Structure 1
C-alpha cells in the first residue's frame, strides 16, 4: 500500500482539480458565470424550496369527472350501435355510475349484447328477462383508470412547469388522487396556478347549423357551448356543436405563438393521422362552420372555405400576447385527463430560506472545525493531512452536486454534516491500525503498509453497508428523505476516495521525502 505510482498521483490531482473547477461556480455571481465561455462549467447547486423559498401547491385530481366522461362516451356508443342494428330502446341515460336503458322487445337481448360486445371493454353488461339493461365499470377498471389518470396528470403538470423555465420543481403523488408541487424560487405562483388549472382539452367539432342555441330542444348528439365572443347584451355567444369529435388535440405535434395580420395567434400542426382527419373533414364540409373548442368553450368557429390538406392551422381570437404564449405552452404540453383543483397553497419567503442556509452553514462549519480539532489533537501531523483530505472531500461533494444539478435541501445539508463526521472514520481506522503496528515494533514503512492493508476491508464493509441504507432511503423515501440520501451517498463515495487515495498520497509523499525513523502518530 505504500507503492503509489505516477499515474495514481496524476489521477488524484486531476480529480481534485476537476472538483475545484465544478465547485467554484458556487462562490461566483450568476452574472459573472454568464459572462464566461460556454465550455467553462457554470452549474451551481440548485437550492430546494426550504432553502431558496418559493411556493408549495397541493392539487386534487377530479377523477370522478373522468368516469362521468367515460360513461357519457359509452352512452353515445350504445345509442349509435343500437340504432345501427335497428334495436329499439327507451330511457337511455346515465344513472349513478351506470348507463341504463330498456329494450322495447326483450327478445332482442342477445342481439343487443352482440352489438355492444366489441365496445364495452372492461365494462360489465347486464340485462334481465324484462329487457332492462345496465352497463357499469368494474372496480378493477375504475382503480386502473384512476391510477392512470393521476400518473398522466403528473406528467402533464411536469411538462407545463418545465415549459415555464422553473428550475428543479418537485412533483410527486400524494395519496391516491393528489399531486404535490413544490416550486423553488417562485414567489408569485398565480401564473403557474392558472396554467395548471386549465385542462387544455382541444377538440374540433362541426357546428349544427340546423339548431339554435336559444331553442329548448337541442337534437340528441349535439350540445350548446359558450364562446369567447360577447353578444350585444354582453353575454357570451353560444354555438350548437355536434358532440362527435372530428379531430382531437391529442394529434397535435406542435403549437407556437406567432402573429397573423398583426394579431397574436397560435399556429399548430398535426401528426399524420390528425392531418388526414383534418383534411377529410374540411374536404367533406366546405362552406360549413367548424368550431375549435378548448375546455368546453368555443374559441372560434370559422367557415371552411377550402380543404386544408397541409396538416397545419391557426387559432385566432381576442388574445393578448401572453395569452397566446400560455395557450401554445398548454397545447404543447398536452391536455390534462381531468381537472385539477388547488386545495392547499403555501408560500415560503426567501428570508426563511436564507435563514435555513445560514443555519446549515453554521452547522457545517462547526462540525468541520470540531472534527479538525479532534483529528489534529489525536494524530498530529497525520491528523493535519486527514483534515486537508476532509476539506477536499467537501469540495468534491459540492462539485458532484453542481455537476449533477441535484437539488440541495435542508435534510441534504444534514447529510453533508453527517458525512463530515463520518469522513474521518476511515482515517481513524487506518491511523489506529498504524499505531498498533508501531507498538508491535514495525518500522515506519512496514507500519503504514500494514495499517492501510489491514484497515481496507473494514473501511469498505462500513461504507458499503451505509451506502446500501442510503440507496434504500432514496428508493423508498420521498422529498426531504431523498435529499438526505443523495448527499449521504455522494459523501460516502467521496470520503472513501479522499481517505484511501488523497490522505495516502500525502502520507507516502511525506514518507519518501523525510524518510523518518519513527512516525509522529
Structure 2
C-alpha cells in the first residue's frame, strides 16, 4: 500500500527527535557571570581563608555575589555574580585583595542541571563576537632569533677552534650579521674553514685577505635563515597555544598570519592587560656550569636558589643549552629518595651539545636555572583621578639544582631539587609548552565587550526568529496542511542542529548564526521542491496517494544533488578558511544534514501519518 510508514521507522524518528531535544535543552539555561580564581603556580592552593578575604572584599565593594565554591583539590575557586556588568569591577577588587601570586579571570559558570550534565549534555560555546573577549595581533621578532642563533654559532666556533688548537681571533660583528675570524697564516685559515664546514655546513664561508691578516667571514645561508624564522614563529605559536590552553578559555584561537605574525583571540577575557600578562607568562630553563673560583666577574653571574635557605651560587655566563632543546618532560619521583623530579628528554642537537660539554667537565657541578616571567602590581592614580593597577613585568631567575656531573650526559637525564610534586608537574608542563624562541610585540589589540556580545546574540536571535516567522507564514498560507508539516519539520530541524553543535562542542559565532539563517531557507527549499512536484502530479490527473509518492520519489534526486553540492562547498570553506569562516562552514554543514533528515524523512512520515493508508479525495496543498 502506498505511503505507509512502518512502526519501527516512526519509533526511530521519535527516538532521534527525543535525543535532539535532550541535548539541545542545556542551551535554555543561561550561564551565570562569574569570576574564577587560581594560583599562578600549581603549588598555590585556594583555601577557606583566601576565599573569606575575597568575599569580604566583594561585600565592602557592594558587589552582589552567590554560590562561591572551591574547586577540586583546591586548585581554583569560582564566585558567581548577580550582574554581568560587575565582572570587571569584581576582578579588580579580588585581585587587589589577594595580591600577586593569583590569577583572577572572567568566566561564565554553567547553570545546566546535574541530571543533564551527567549524560554529557552541555550548552554550545560562544565565540569572541558573542561572548566578548580580546583579540591580539603579535609580531615575532625574527631578527632577534637570528641574532640569538649567531651568538650560538659564535660560541660554537670558538669552542671548536680551541679544541682543535687552531689559534685565531673570532668575533661577532656589532649588528650580529656575520662572524669574523682572523688568522696569522693561510694554513690556519684553511684548517679553521675545514673544521667549521664539517660542524656547521649551514654557514656560508667567505675568504677575505688584507693587511690585517688572513680572514674568514661566516654568514647564515638563506635556506637556514628561513628555517630559523619558521622555527621561531612555529615555536612561539606552539608555546602560546599551550599557555592559552592552561587558562581554560572556551575555544581560543591561536594561529599564524603571514610570515611572522600570530593572531590570538580569547573569548570571555575582558581585561586586555591581564591577557597580555598571561600570554607573556612563559618559563624556561638554562643549564650552566658552576663558575670556577678563579673566574673573573665578567664571565660569571650570581643567582639565588629557589629555596632561599640555601643562599646563592655563581654560574658561568655561557649557557650549555636552554629549554628550547627539551623535546619532552615528565614529572616523577626519585626511586631512592622518593623526592619529586623531572625526567627530561632533549632533541638530538641538544643531546649532542649536552654530551660534548659534560664529557669534558666530569666532577664539575652543572646548574639548572629556572627563569620565569612575573609581574608586580602597583596602584596609581590616573588623570581622571581613578585608581588603576599597573603591572610591572620582570624575569625571576632562580637555581633549581646544582649537582655534580658524574658521567657524560646525553639525550635523557633528570633534574631534582624541587619542593613538591605539584611544582615538578608544573615545571614539566611549562617545559613541554616550551619557551618563546624570539620576542614578540603587540602590534594590534581589540576588546569586544560583553555588552556588545550580548547585543550580537540578541540581533542574531532576532534574525533567526524573523526568518522563521516569515517562512512559516508563507508555507502555511501557500501550502496549507502541507505547509504546517513543513513548519513542524523546520522547528525540529533547528532543535537537531543545536543539539549536534552542542554534542560536538562547536563554537557559535556571528557568522555561525548566519549559517543557521541560511539553513532555515535551505530546509524549506527541499519541502518546496517536494510540494511543487506533488502539485504538478495532481494537475496531471494523478491520484492523491500516487502524487504524494511520486512527489517525494522524483524530488529526492534534485534535493540530494543540491545539498551535496552545498555540503562540498562547506567542507572546502572549513578546510581553507579560518576563525569565523570555519564557524559558518560547521553550522552550514550540520544544517544541511539535519535539513535533509527533517525535509525528506521527517516530513514524509508526518504526511503518511495524516494521509497514508486510506482513501483521500483531495489534498490540502
User: What TM-score bracket applies, with the shorter chain setting the length?
Assistant: 0.7 to 0.9
Once the two structures are superposed, what CA deviation does each residue of 1:250-277 show, in whole Å capped at 9, x if it has no partner?
Answer: 1551369xxxxxxxx9963334999997
Identify the residue that residue 344 of structure 2 maps to in structure 1: 270
Aligned to 1:42, which of 121, 124, 128? Answer: 121
Q: Who is 1:290 aligned against?
A: 367
Report the number of matched residues: 497
Q: Following the alignment from structure 2 to structure 1, what is the Cα–Cα distance between the partners of residues 406 and 129?
A: 55
Of 313, 320, 331, which aligns to 2:416? 313
In the TM superposition, what are the counterparts of 1:117-516 in structure 2 within 5 Å?
117-128=197-208, 131-210=214-293, 215=297, 218=298, 222=299, 224=301, 239-245=314-320, 248=323, 250=326, 253-254=329-330, 268-271=342-345, 288=365, 290-294=367-371, 298-300=397-399, 303-304=402-403, 311-315=414-418, 330-512=430-612, 515-516=615-616
- 1:103 matched to 2:183? The reply is yes
Return 388-397 or 68-77, whichever deviates more: 68-77
- Can you give the 5+ residue segments of structure 2 that lack an aligned partner in the other structure? 32-109, 333-338, 373-394
The residue aligned with 1:261 is none
Judged with a 3 Å threshold, the aligned counterparts in structure 2 of structure 1 residues 250 and 305 are, in CA distance, closer, same or farther, namely closer
Secondary structure at the aligned position of 2:326 is classed as helix
- Per-residue deviation at 1:369? 0.4
Q: Is the 8 A contact 1:122 1:138 kept in 2?
A: yes
SS state of the match for residue 283, structure 2?
Answer: coil
Q: Residues 79-98 of structure 1 correspond to what in structure 2 (within 5 A)?
A: 79-94=158-173, 95-98=175-178
Residues in 2 aligned to 1:255 and 1:312: alpha-carbon distance in whole angstroms? 10
User: Which whole-Å deviations, capped at 9, do the CAs of 1:16-71 have from their partners, x for residues lacking one?
Assistant: 12211111111135555353276413221000111001122222212111111111
3-state secondary structure, aligned to 1:55: strand
Mapped to 1, the partners of 2:183 and 2:113 lie a distance apart of 73
The higher relative CO (CA closer than 8 Å, separation ≥ 6) is in 1
Structure 2 residue matching 1:117: 3-state secondary structure: helix
Per the normalisation by structure 1, the TM-score is 0.85
Give unpaired runs (5+ residues) of structure 1.
Answer: 257-264
Distance apart, 1:121 and its partner CA: 3.7
Choose 283-292 or 40-49, whichever is displaced more: 283-292
- Structure 1 residue 437, shift from structure 2 partner: 0.3
CA contact (8 A) 2:283 2:370 kept: no
Cα distance between partner residues in 1 of 2:188 and 2:463: 79
Give secondary structure in 1 for the equivalent of 2:199: coil
1:169 to partner: Cα distance: 0.5
Per-residue CA distance 1:171-190 (angstroms, 9 max, x = gap): 11122211111111112354
Q: CA deviation at 1:324?
A: 9.8
Higher strand share: 2
2:46 maps to: none
For 1:224 and 1:364, the matched residues in 2 are separated by 65
1:353-398 deviation digits (Å, cap 9, x = unpaired): 1111011111110100000000111100000000000001101110
Measured in 1, the distance between the counterparts of 2:550 and 2:537 equals 7
RMSD (CA atoms): 3.5
SS of equivalent residue, structure 2 residue 441: strand
Offset at residue 436 of structure 1 (A)? 0.4
User: CA 1:212–1:345 in structure 2 vs 1: closer, same or farther (change >3 Å)?
Assistant: farther
- Deviation by residue 1:174-209 (Cα, 9 ceiling, x = unmatched): 222111111111123544422322442212212213
Q: Deviations over 1:214-272 (max 9, x none)?
A: x4xx3xxx45476699x9xxxx989451414267571551369xxxxxxxx99633349
CA distance in structure 1 between the aligned counterparts of 2:584 and 2:612, rounded to whole angstroms: 40
Work out whether 1:68 is the aligned partner of 2:151.
no
Distance 2:116 2:478 in 1: 46
Deviations along 1:147-178, one digit per CA (max 9) or x if unpaired, are 23212221221111111211210111122211
Secondary structure at the counterpart of residue 468 of structure 2: helix
